[in-house]
Protein backbone atom coordinates (compact mmCIF):
# COMPACT_ATOMS: atom_id res chain seq x y z
CA UNK A 1 0.00 0.00 0.00
CA UNK A 2 1.37 3.41 -1.01
CA UNK A 3 0.29 5.29 2.08
CA UNK A 4 0.89 8.78 0.72
CA UNK A 5 -1.21 8.20 -2.43
CA UNK A 6 -4.62 8.59 -0.77
CA UNK A 7 -6.85 11.64 -0.99
CA UNK A 8 -8.26 11.45 2.53
CA UNK A 9 -7.03 10.09 5.86
CA UNK A 10 -9.27 9.12 8.77
CA UNK A 11 -7.47 8.95 12.12
CA UNK A 12 -8.49 7.34 15.38
CA UNK A 13 -7.44 9.37 18.45
CA UNK A 14 -6.55 7.29 21.52
CA UNK A 15 -3.57 5.02 20.94
CA UNK A 16 -3.16 6.27 17.37
CA UNK A 17 -2.52 10.00 17.64
CA UNK A 18 -1.86 10.12 21.36
CA UNK A 19 -1.88 8.23 24.65
CA UNK A 20 -3.59 10.00 27.50
CA UNK A 21 -1.69 10.59 30.73
CA UNK A 22 -4.57 12.04 32.72
CA UNK A 23 -7.79 10.51 34.04
CA UNK A 24 -10.16 13.30 33.04
CA UNK A 25 -12.14 11.21 30.54
CA UNK A 26 -12.35 8.33 33.01
CA UNK A 27 -13.67 10.45 35.86
CA UNK A 28 -16.17 12.09 33.51
CA UNK A 29 -17.59 8.59 32.96
CA UNK A 30 -17.79 7.88 36.67
CA UNK A 31 -19.20 11.24 37.67
CA UNK A 32 -21.92 11.23 35.00
CA UNK A 33 -23.01 7.70 35.88
CA UNK A 34 -23.12 8.62 39.55
CA UNK A 35 -25.19 11.73 38.96
CA UNK A 36 -27.63 10.19 36.49
CA UNK A 37 -28.04 6.60 37.68
CA UNK A 38 -26.91 6.85 41.29
CA UNK A 39 -24.24 4.16 41.32
CA UNK A 40 -20.50 4.46 41.81
CA UNK A 41 -18.96 2.18 39.20
CA UNK A 42 -15.64 1.77 37.44
CA UNK A 43 -14.96 0.54 33.91
CA UNK A 44 -13.01 -2.45 35.24
CA UNK A 45 -13.78 -5.57 33.23
CA UNK A 46 -15.28 -3.59 30.34
CA UNK A 47 -13.36 -3.60 27.03
CA UNK A 48 -12.22 -0.02 26.46
CA UNK A 49 -9.60 -0.02 23.71
CA UNK A 50 -11.36 0.05 20.35
CA UNK A 51 -14.73 0.50 22.03
CA UNK A 52 -16.94 3.61 21.88
CA UNK A 53 -18.04 5.90 24.69
CA UNK A 54 -21.63 4.73 24.25
CA UNK A 55 -20.54 1.09 24.16
CA UNK A 56 -18.55 1.49 27.37
CA UNK A 57 -21.38 3.29 29.15
CA UNK A 58 -23.92 0.68 28.07
CA UNK A 59 -21.70 -2.20 29.23
CA UNK A 60 -21.18 -0.61 32.66
CA UNK A 61 -24.91 0.08 33.04
CA UNK A 62 -25.80 -3.48 32.08
CA UNK A 63 -23.43 -4.78 34.76
CA UNK A 64 -25.35 -2.61 37.20
CA UNK A 65 -28.70 -3.98 36.02
CA UNK A 66 -29.84 -0.82 34.20
CA UNK A 67 -32.28 -1.79 31.41
CA UNK A 68 -31.36 -0.62 27.93
CA UNK A 69 -34.58 1.40 27.73
CA UNK A 70 -33.58 3.35 30.84
CA UNK A 71 -30.05 3.76 29.53
CA UNK A 72 -31.26 5.16 26.20
CA UNK A 73 -33.65 7.53 27.98
CA UNK A 74 -30.85 9.15 29.99
CA UNK A 75 -28.02 8.87 27.44
CA UNK A 76 -28.31 12.46 26.14
CA UNK A 77 -27.95 13.73 29.71
CA UNK A 78 -24.89 11.54 30.30
CA UNK A 79 -23.27 12.73 27.07
CA UNK A 80 -23.88 16.35 28.01
CA UNK A 81 -22.43 15.90 31.49
CA UNK A 82 -19.34 14.05 30.31
CA UNK A 83 -18.69 16.54 27.53
CA UNK A 84 -19.10 19.52 29.84
CA UNK A 85 -16.75 18.09 32.48
CA UNK A 86 -13.96 17.27 30.02
CA UNK A 87 -14.32 20.64 28.28
CA UNK A 88 -14.18 22.46 31.61
CA UNK A 89 -10.95 20.66 32.49
CA UNK A 90 -9.26 21.17 29.12
CA UNK A 91 -6.28 22.91 30.72
CA UNK A 92 -5.56 19.75 32.70
CA UNK A 93 -5.40 17.42 29.69
CA UNK A 94 -2.07 15.61 29.48
CA UNK A 95 -1.12 13.32 26.62
CA UNK A 96 1.94 11.90 24.88
CA UNK A 97 1.78 12.22 21.12
CA UNK A 98 2.64 9.00 19.32
CA UNK A 99 5.93 8.89 17.39
CA UNK A 100 6.14 11.19 14.34
CA UNK A 101 2.46 12.14 14.48
CA UNK A 102 3.14 15.91 14.21
CA UNK A 103 5.46 15.34 11.24
CA UNK A 104 2.97 13.05 9.52
CA UNK A 105 0.03 15.41 9.98
CA UNK A 106 2.11 18.34 8.76
CA UNK A 107 3.21 16.49 5.66
CA UNK A 108 -0.33 15.39 4.80
CA UNK A 109 -1.76 18.86 5.46
CA UNK A 110 0.90 20.58 3.37
CA UNK A 111 0.23 18.09 0.55
CA UNK A 112 -3.40 19.19 0.44
CA UNK A 113 -4.82 15.96 1.81
CA UNK A 114 -8.18 15.89 3.59
CA UNK A 115 -7.83 14.76 7.22
CA UNK A 116 -10.67 13.62 9.44
CA UNK A 117 -11.20 12.01 12.82
CA UNK A 118 -13.02 8.69 13.36
CA UNK A 119 -13.22 7.88 17.05
CA UNK A 120 -15.31 6.31 19.76
CA UNK A 121 -14.99 9.51 21.80
CA UNK A 122 -17.91 11.87 22.13
CA UNK A 123 -17.42 14.90 19.91
CA UNK A 124 -16.68 17.53 22.56
CA UNK A 125 -14.24 15.18 24.29
CA UNK A 126 -12.41 14.29 21.09
CA UNK A 127 -11.99 17.89 20.02
CA UNK A 128 -10.85 18.86 23.52
CA UNK A 129 -8.05 16.28 23.38
CA UNK A 130 -6.96 17.42 19.93
CA UNK A 131 -7.04 21.11 20.86
CA UNK A 132 -5.09 20.53 24.07
CA UNK A 133 -2.35 18.67 22.18
CA UNK A 134 -2.10 21.17 19.32
CA UNK A 135 -3.43 18.84 16.63
CA UNK A 136 -6.89 20.33 16.08
CA UNK A 137 -5.97 22.53 13.11
CA UNK A 138 -4.99 19.55 10.94
CA UNK A 139 -8.48 18.07 10.88
CA UNK A 140 -11.33 19.32 8.72
CA UNK A 141 -14.05 17.21 10.31
CA UNK A 142 -14.75 14.36 12.70
CA UNK A 143 -17.04 11.38 13.07
CA UNK A 144 -17.76 10.60 16.71
CA UNK A 145 -19.91 8.29 18.84
CA UNK A 146 -22.51 10.80 20.03
CA UNK A 147 -25.14 9.37 17.70
CA UNK A 148 -23.81 5.95 16.74
CA UNK A 149 -22.52 3.15 18.92
CA UNK A 150 -20.83 0.89 16.37
CA UNK A 151 -17.31 1.68 15.25
CA UNK A 152 -18.00 0.57 11.68
CA UNK A 153 -20.83 3.11 11.47
CA UNK A 154 -18.50 5.83 12.75
CA UNK A 155 -16.11 4.93 9.93
CA UNK A 156 -18.96 4.92 7.41
CA UNK A 157 -20.00 8.39 8.54
CA UNK A 158 -16.43 9.59 8.13
CA UNK A 159 -16.29 8.13 4.62
CA UNK A 160 -19.61 9.77 3.76
CA UNK A 161 -18.15 13.15 4.73
CA UNK A 162 -15.12 12.51 2.53
CA UNK A 163 -17.46 11.74 -0.38
CA UNK A 164 -19.46 14.89 0.33
CA UNK A 165 -16.32 17.01 0.21
CA UNK A 166 -14.26 15.28 -2.47
CA UNK A 167 -16.65 13.06 -4.41
CA UNK A 168 -17.18 9.33 -4.33
CA UNK A 169 -13.99 8.60 -6.26
CA UNK A 170 -11.78 9.92 -3.45
CA UNK A 171 -9.39 7.30 -2.11
CA UNK A 172 -9.60 7.06 1.67
CA UNK A 173 -7.61 5.19 4.32
CA UNK A 174 -8.10 4.67 8.07
CA UNK A 175 -5.28 4.82 10.62
CA UNK A 176 -5.95 2.96 13.87
CA UNK A 177 -4.28 0.97 16.64
CA UNK A 178 -6.74 -1.78 17.64
CA UNK A 179 -8.23 -4.97 16.23
CA UNK A 180 -11.60 -3.19 16.41
CA UNK A 181 -10.29 -0.61 13.95
CA UNK A 182 -9.31 -3.35 11.52
CA UNK A 183 -12.68 -5.09 11.78
CA UNK A 184 -14.59 -1.81 11.43
CA UNK A 185 -12.54 -0.71 8.42
CA UNK A 186 -13.16 -4.04 6.73
CA UNK A 187 -16.90 -3.76 7.39
CA UNK A 188 -16.94 -0.21 6.03
CA UNK A 189 -14.96 -1.22 2.95
CA UNK A 190 -11.91 0.89 3.82
CA UNK A 191 -8.19 0.07 3.73
CA UNK A 192 -6.39 0.46 7.03
CA UNK A 193 -2.95 1.23 8.36
CA UNK A 194 -2.53 -0.40 11.77
CA UNK A 195 0.01 1.10 14.16
CA UNK A 196 1.18 -0.62 17.33
CA UNK A 197 1.23 2.57 19.38
CA UNK A 198 -1.61 1.60 21.73
CA UNK A 199 -1.82 -1.50 23.91
CA UNK A 200 -1.73 -4.07 21.10
CA UNK A 201 1.49 -5.57 19.81
CA UNK A 202 2.38 -5.31 16.13
CA UNK A 203 2.20 -9.11 15.84
CA UNK A 204 -1.37 -9.11 17.20
CA UNK A 205 -2.45 -6.53 14.66
CA UNK A 206 -0.55 -8.09 11.76
CA UNK A 207 -2.31 -11.42 12.41
CA UNK A 208 -5.58 -9.74 11.37
CA UNK A 209 -4.13 -8.78 7.98
CA UNK A 210 -4.53 -5.01 7.83
CA UNK A 211 -3.41 -3.43 4.57
CA UNK A 212 -0.29 -2.11 6.27
CA UNK A 213 0.99 -2.73 9.80
CA UNK A 214 3.77 -0.70 11.41
CA UNK A 215 5.26 -0.39 14.86
CA UNK A 216 4.67 3.36 14.61
CA UNK A 217 4.48 6.16 12.02
CA UNK A 218 8.22 6.71 12.06
CA UNK A 219 8.48 3.84 9.57
CA UNK A 220 6.51 5.84 7.00
CA UNK A 221 9.38 8.30 6.74
CA UNK A 222 12.22 5.90 6.02
CA UNK A 223 12.49 7.02 2.42
CA UNK A 224 10.78 10.38 2.72
CA UNK A 225 12.64 12.50 5.26
The pLDDT tens digits for 98-127 are: 999 999 999 999 999 999 999 999 999 999
95, 132 Cβ separation under 8 angstroms: yes
pLDDT, tens digit (0-9, with 9 covering 90-100), for 84-93: 999 999 999 9
158, 165 Cβ separation under 8 angstroms: no
What is the model's pLDDT at position 42? Answer: 79
CA 20 to chain centre: 12
What is the model's pLDDT at position 43? Answer: 78
Q: How many CB atoms lie within 10 A of CB 221?
A: 13
pTM above 0.75, yes or no: yes
What is the model's pLDDT at position 223? Answer: 43
**Residue ranges in the chain whose pLDDT is less than 70:** 222-225
pLDDT, tens digit (0-9, with 9 covering 90-100), for 157-168: 999 999 999 999
What is the model's pLDDT at position 79? Answer: 97
What is the model's pLDDT at position 225? Answer: 39
What is the model's pLDDT at position 65? Answer: 93
Amino acid sequence: MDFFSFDAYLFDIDGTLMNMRDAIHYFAFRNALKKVFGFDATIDGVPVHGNTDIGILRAVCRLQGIPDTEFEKHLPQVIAMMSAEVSARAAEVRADLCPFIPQLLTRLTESGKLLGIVTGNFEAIGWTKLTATGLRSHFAFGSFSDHTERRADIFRNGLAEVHRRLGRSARTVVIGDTPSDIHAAREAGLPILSVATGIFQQSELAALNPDLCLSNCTELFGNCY
